[in-house]
Amino acid sequence: MKEYLFRHQPPYPLDVVNAKDSYVIDKSGKKYLDFLVGWCVGNAGWNKTSIMNAVKSFKGPVYVMPPFKYSRWEILAQKLVNLMPGKNGTCFRATGGTEAVEIALKISRAFNKRKKFIAFRDAYHGQSLACMALVDLYQDKFGPYSDNFVRVNADKWEETTDFVVNQIKKEEVCAFISEPIICALGVIIPPKSFFEAVQEACKQTNTAFIMDEVATGFGRTGKWFGFEHYKLKPDIVTVAKGFSSGYGGLGATIATPEIAETMRFDFSNYSTFGWHPLSTEAAIANLDYIKKNKLVEKSVSNGAYLMKKLSQFCNPEGKGLCIGFNCANKNMEMDCFKDKLLLSYINNRTVLFPALDVKKKEMDEAVEIVRKNHR
C-alpha cells in the first residue's frame, strides 16, 4: 500500500480511536494507561465533559483575521497575563510551541539587536530550523548552523553557571532560553543558584531572559509555571501544550510590556491561525477547568505520592507530575507498552507525565509496571 502520510519512523503500534481521563483506547477496545499525555499536553486529562461541551457548543466565527478584533482573544490574554509575575505582560498569539519560541527569539532580537543565543545543547525548543539550531539538533542533517548560537554543557553546574554568566557579561548575547525543568534531557532540574545568577547577568546587560514553559506550564510541575519554583521574573515566557490540554491547537508568547513594545512595527509578527477561535474557546475552558478543579494543587499531592512509590526501587527526580529517573533498560518504553502503560524513555532516563488528576489506583498500577520493567 502506498504511503501518503510521511512518518520519520515506523508507526507506533497503537491505533487510537478514543481517550478518556488517563486512558487511551485503541481500535480493538484495549485501554492503555497514559503517563505521557502527548508529552505534557493533556494536563487536564482526556475528554473532560466541561471542556468538550465548550468546544461542541461553540457558535462563534469560523475564523478571524489576525488584524481584526475578537473579544475572546482579549479574555484569554487577560487570563494568561494574570498568571504572570505581577500580573504584567503582553501576549503574542501562536499556533503552538515552536512558533511561540520563534516569536520569543524575534522579540529578543528586536529588543537588543544582538545575534547570539544561549541554550542547553540537546534540549528541545521546537521543530523550526532556528529552534533546532539553538540546541544543535541534527547538525549533520540541517546544518551548518550559524556560529551565533552558543551551546552549553549542563553536566557540571558550577562550571556551566560561570560559563553562561561570563558569556552574557560580554554583552553580545541576545537571549538566554531554557525550560525551568529540562524535560527533553530526561527531567533535569537546574539548581536555583544557576537561574538566579543567569537572570541577574541578563538584567545587568539587557539580555532577554526566556523561560520556555511549553512542556512545564499549567500545573505540570506543581506550580502554574515552573519558573515559580525559583521565584524568577522572566522577560519572555513561551507556552503551548497544557495551555489547551490538547483540546485545541495554540500557543503564546508573553513578554513584559517594555520588551513587547519593541515589536511595534509593521508586519513584525503574523500568525494566520494563531489563536483560532475554536482553539481559543478550548483554552479558556481548559484554564477554567484547571483552576476550578485545583489541578495545580493535585499535581503537588499526586506528584509526592508517585515519587514516594517510585523511590522504593529507583531514584526519581522531579517536581509535581514532571518526573524522571535513570534507567538502564533501553527497551523500557516498549516493554511498558506491552503491559499497556504509555511513558517515554529519553537520554537513558524514563520520564512520566500523567494527567494532573491521575488517580492513586492508576499510579499504583503504573508503578508496578515500571517496577517490573525497570533495571
Q: Which residues of the chain have pLDDT under 50?
A: none
For domain 53-291, the CATH architecture is 3-Layer(aba) Sandwich (3.40)
**Residue 254, CA distances (Å) to 35, 81, 148, 247, 268 in order:** 29, 7, 24, 21, 15
Cβ atoms 221, 320 nearer than 8 A: yes
Non-local (6+) Cβ contacts of 45 within 8 A are: 21, 22, 37, 245, 355, 356, 357, 358
Predicted confidence at residue 1, as pLDDT, reads 56
Q: Rounded CA gap, 283 and 77, in Å? A: 10
CATH 3.90.1150.10 for domain 16-40+294-373, yes or no, is yes
Cα separation of 261 and 258, whole Å?
Answer: 5
Output the pLDDT for position 146. Answer: 82
326 exposure class (CB count in 10 Å sphere: 0-12, 13-18, 19+): middle
SS3 130: helix
This prediction's pTM: 0.97
**Cα–Cα distance for residue pair 40/241, rounded to 1 Å:** 6
**Residue 233 has which C-alpha cell?**
521574573
The segment(s) of the chain belonging to CATH 3.90.1150.10 are 16-40+294-373
Query: Looking at residue 242, what is its pLDDT?
Result: 98
Q: In whole angstroms, how far apart are CA 327 and each of 28, 77, 139, 348?
A: 31, 41, 27, 6
Provide the pLDDT for residue 285.
Answer: 98
Contact 283, 276 (CB under 8 A): no
Q: How big is the CA angle at 309 (ends 305 and 313), to the nearest 5 degrees?
A: 155
CATH 3.40.640.10 in the chain, residues? 53-291
